[in-house]
């Protein structure tokens, strides 16, 4: 959100008088409404860690915060600011063990859920998006030039993806 506005809301679904109702049609109540304070600029990326009760956010200044759920409340677990470029995308692996952070200037950092840096490199492209394969063996980067670049999970280049019109 603008000016660092970030909230975590939890909707608890209640069995109600609408059997089979799902999504927004299901009866629910708000069980959490916690503002997360730490960003002072617009938050532009958010990624849930699917297994570790973590949330990772970045803002337009490049500040990254990893939030951790502890005893029902969210706390800052780790803060990082490379101070060189904005984060264009960040994605956790499906098992929640690794996160890939792609910066606009081509820098890539892969880190673990425990906070250690696994590997990093600078690609000769302006990066826009990143996506892990479901088994975390491969990464695909979308570039500002309109290309897709593939790497294995250890950062070794596999080459561009050739797209046919």
pLDDT digits (tens, 9 = 90+) for 154-164: 999 998 887 76
Burial 57-81 (b: 16+ CB within 10 A, else e): bbbeebbbbbbbbeeeebeebeebe
Query: Residues 37-56: pLDDT tens digits?
Result: 888 888 999 999 988 789 99
pLDDT the model gives residue 165:
63
Q: Does pLDDT of 93 surpass 90?
A: yes
Question: Is residue 23 one of the residues assigned to a domain?
Answer: no
Identify which has the larger pLDDT, 8 or 85: 85
Q: Any idea which of 18-32, 55-69, 112-126 has the lowest mean pLDDT?
A: 18-32
Question: Is residue 6 one of the residues assigned to a domain?
Answer: no
How many angstroms separate the Cα of 151 from the Cα of each of 14, 57, 71, 142?
44, 24, 38, 12
Radius of gyration of the chain (CA): 18
Question: Is residue 3 one of the residues assigned to a domain?
Answer: no
**Which residue range(s) make up the domain with 85?**
38-161
Question: Is residue 86 one of the residues assigned to a domain?
Answer: yes
Provide the pLDDT confidence category of residue 90 given band limits of 50, 70 and 90. very high
Q: Does pLDDT of 9 surpass 60?
A: no
Work out how many domains the chain is built from and give that number. Answer: 1
Q: Does pLDDT of 148 surpass 90?
A: yes
- Write phi, then psi, for 2 (nearest 5 degrees): -70, 150
Question: Is residue 63 one of the residues assigned to a domain?
Answer: yes
Q: Does pLDDT of 17 surpass 70?
A: no
pLDDT the model gives residue 28:
62
How many angstroms separate the Cα of 154 from the Cα of each of 52, 90, 102, 106, 138?
22, 17, 15, 17, 8
Strand blocks (E) in 60-96: 63-70, 73-81, 87-92
Question: Is residue 14 one of the residues assigned to a domain?
Answer: no
What's this model's pTM, rounded to 2 decimal places?
0.81
Average pLDDT, the chain: 86
Question: Is residue 110 one of the residues assigned to a domain?
Answer: yes
Q: Does pLDDT of 23 surpass 80?
A: no
What's 26's DSSP letter?
S
Which CATH number belongs to the domain containing residue 127 in this structure? 2.130.10.10
């Amino acid at each position: 959100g603008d000016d660092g506005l970030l909230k975590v809301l939890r909707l608890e679904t209640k069995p109600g008088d609408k059997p089979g109702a799902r999504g927004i049609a299901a009866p629910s109540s708000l069980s959490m409404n916690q503002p997360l304070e730490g960003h002072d600029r617009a938050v532009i990326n958010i990624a849930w860690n699917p297994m570790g009760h973590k949330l990772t956010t970045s803002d337009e200044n490049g500040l990254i915060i990893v939030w951790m759920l502890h005893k029902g409340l969210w706390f800052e677990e780790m803060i990082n600011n490379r101070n060189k470029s904005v984060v264009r995308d960040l994605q956790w692996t499906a098992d929640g063990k690794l996160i890939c952070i792609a910066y606009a200037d081509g820098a890539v950092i892969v880190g673990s859920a425990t906070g250690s840096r696994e590997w990093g490199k600078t690609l000769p492209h302006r990066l826009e998006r990143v996506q892990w394969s479901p088994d975390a063996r491969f990464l695909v980067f979308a570039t500002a030039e309109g290309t897709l670049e593939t790497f294995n999970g250890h950062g070794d280049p596999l080459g561009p993806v050739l797209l046919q019109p």
